[in-house]
């Protein structure tokens, strides 16, 4: 597909001004100006969220389209000539692409308002940082009157032209944990008189790996990752306290509850073995992204052969789009955007995506919106 030059302008402008969660002030101002230029009347939701409605030719259903806005705390090293102008912040997950795609879909919908009902536009802050911006927008009424909600995410691992979407669980529950270990400090030359919190923390990290390999069914998916371990003050003092933090990813509530309990058992019993104590703080994050089957089927049919659809395995990544899907029928898709150069993972300082994906994303959102405005009953069909 040919790329509208305006898409390139939007994407590169937005890529250069990344901002962290709930701090997307310059980004929101830019989007607000563009929405006004396009003839809409945007409303601020909170400090940086934006909502606008596109009215059709007659009354009817409401379809919501969402794009996230925030960047990540990374120093960009992508080599792009339009790299971030904000030191230490980067669009390393493609949210600049998402905002551009939604602007393109808006432009297309405005050019031909031959549909009933209305399209609700949602530019959402803070997808990257729990508790996320979706709950805040929902609390502010962004889903009032909405019948169907659609969203997408560029995916650097899929080639351009590919769209990944599946029935049911698309992305994982995304939780965090903190384990605090309390031992007894002492001199490094007399370890027998102390309870070494760093040693205990190290053993807890190792023992955590047995949860997935030995406690979770091999037919279920789970991830337990210890991301940090902290303890001690200097080289010759045995640490009295230490801390381990990490993340847990699961695809269903049963596995989620099992892993939480097993982390507690591992931490407490490992510490007890050394005469110390450990306490677990488990923090539930984004719930699983669960697509509604009828919406998936109808969306795919609306796009037809203009995209190559695949059914990927569920991603163990997390997404606060899940909150919208808990409230309304809808679906979330992965948009292939692999660059011609080396593919780097999302959240890498070297992250790049292909702008060739932009018109495909616009087509995906615009056709999805038009279809469900004409056929809202298909969102809940059995």
Q: Which domains does the chain have, with CATH numbers?
A: 5-170+288-379 (3.40.630.10), 173-286 (3.30.70.360)
- With CA atoms as reference, report the closest residue to 146 among 330, 368, 332: 330
What single DSSP character describes residue 216? S
Give, for 31, the enclosing helix (H) or strand (E). helix 25-37
Three-state DSSP class for 179? strand
Does 70 participate in catalysis according to the annotation? yes
250-273 per-residue burial string, b: 16 or more CB within 10 A, e: under 16: bbbeebbebbbebbbebbbebbee
Please give the pLDDT value at position 378. Answer: 87
What single DSSP character describes residue 145? T
Q: Is the bond preceding 131 in cis, omega lying within 30 degrees of 0?
A: yes
Three-state DSSP class for 229? strand
Alpha helices in 167-292 (DSSP H): 197-210, 253-273
Rounded Cα–Cα distance for residues 108 and 54 (Å): 11
Does 340 participate in catalysis according to the annotation? no
Contact 239, 196 (CB under 8 A): yes
User: What pTM did the predictor assign?
Assistant: 0.95
The CA radius of gyration of the chain, in Å to the nearest whole number, is: 23
Please give the pLDDT value at position 382. Answer: 61
- With CA atoms as reference, report the closest residue to 5 among 286, 360, 358: 358
Rounded Cα–Cα distance for residues 28 and 6 (Å): 18
pLDDT 10s digit of each residue in the chain, 382 long? Answer: 789 999 999 999 999 999 999 999 999 999 999 999 999 999 999 999 999 999 999 999 999 999 999 999 999 999 999 999 999 999 999 999 999 999 999 999 999 999 999 999 999 999 999 999 999 999 999 999 999 999 999 999 999 999 999 999 999 999 999 999 999 999 999 999 999 999 999 999 999 999 999 999 999 999 999 999 999 999 999 999 999 999 999 999 999 999 999 999 999 999 999 999 999 999 999 999 999 999 999 999 999 999 999 999 999 999 999 999 999 999 999 999 999 999 999 999 999 999 999 999 999 999 999 999 999 888 887 6
The dihedral built from the CA positions of residue 167, 169, 222 and 125, taken in this order, carries a sign that is: positive
How would you classify residue 168: left for phi > 0, otherwise alpha for psi between -120 and 50, otherwise beta? left
Rounded Cα–Cα distance for residues 281 and 143 (Å): 32
203 contact partners, CB below 8 Å, separation of at least 6: 270, 274
Active-site residue, from 34, 70, 136, 147: 70
CA angle 52, 306, 112 (to 5 degrees): 35
Other C-beta atoms lying within 10 Å of the C-beta of residue 75? 12
Strand runs labelled E in the chain: 43-45, 49-55, 58-68, 116-124, 148-155, 162-164, 168-171, 173-182, 186-187, 222-231, 237-238, 241-250, 277-286, 289-291, 308-310, 330-336
Kindly report the length of the chain.
382
How would you classify residue 73: left for phi > 0, otherwise alpha for psi between -120 and 50, otherwise beta? beta
Rounded Cα–Cα distance for residues 189 and 196 (Å): 12
| 90 strand-pairing partners | 72
Active-site residue, from 34, 127, 147, 240: 127
């Amino acid at each position: 597909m040919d790329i509208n030059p305006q898409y390139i302008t939007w994407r590169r402008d937005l890529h250069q001004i990344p901002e962290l969660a709930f701090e997307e002030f310059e980004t929101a101002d830019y989007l607000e100006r563009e929405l006004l230029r396009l003839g809409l009347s945007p409303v601020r939701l909170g400090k940086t969220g934006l909502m606008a409605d596109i009215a059709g030719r007659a009354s009817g259903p409401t379809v919501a389209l969402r794009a996230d806005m925030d960047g990540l705390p990374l120093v960009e090293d992508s080599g792009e000539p339009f790299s971030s102008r904000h030191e230490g912040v980067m669009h390393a997950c493609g949210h600049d692409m998402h905002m551009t795609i939604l602007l393109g879909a808006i432009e297309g919908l405005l050019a031909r308002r031959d549909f009933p009902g209305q399209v609700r536009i949602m530019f959402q802050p803070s997808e990257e940082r729990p508790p996320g911006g979706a709950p805040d927008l929902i609390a502010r009424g962004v889903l009032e009157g909405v019948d169907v909600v659609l969203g997408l995410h560029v995916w650097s691992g899929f080639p351009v032209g590919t769209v990944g979407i599946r029935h049911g669980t698309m992305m994982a529950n995304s939780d965090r944990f903190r384990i605090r270990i309390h031992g007894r400090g002492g001199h490094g030359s007399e370890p027998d008189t102390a309870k070494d919190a760093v040693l205990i923390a190290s053993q807890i990290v190792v023992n955590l790996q047995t949860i997935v390999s030995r406690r979770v069914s091999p037919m279920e998916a789970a991830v337990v990752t210890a991301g940090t371990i902290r303890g001690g003050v200097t080289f010759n003092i045995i640490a009295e306290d230490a801390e381990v933090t990490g993340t847990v990813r699961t695809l269903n509530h049963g596995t989620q509850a099992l892993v939480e309990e097993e982390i507690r058992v591992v931490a407490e019993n490992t510490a007890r073995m050394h005469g110390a104590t450990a306490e677990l703080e488990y923090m539930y994050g984004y719930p699983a992204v669960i697509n509604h089957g009828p919406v998936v089927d109808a969306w795919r049919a609306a796009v037809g052969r203009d995209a190559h659809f695949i059914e990927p395995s569920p991603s163990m990544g997390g997404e606060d789009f899940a909150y919208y899907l808990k409230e309304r029928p809808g679906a979330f898709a992965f948009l292939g955007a692999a660059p011609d150069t080396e593919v780097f993972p999302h959240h890498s300082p070297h992250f790049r995506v292909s702008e060739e994906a932009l018109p495909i994303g616009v087509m995906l959102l615009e056709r999805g919106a038009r279809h469900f405005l004409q056929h809202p009953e298909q969102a809940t069909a059995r």
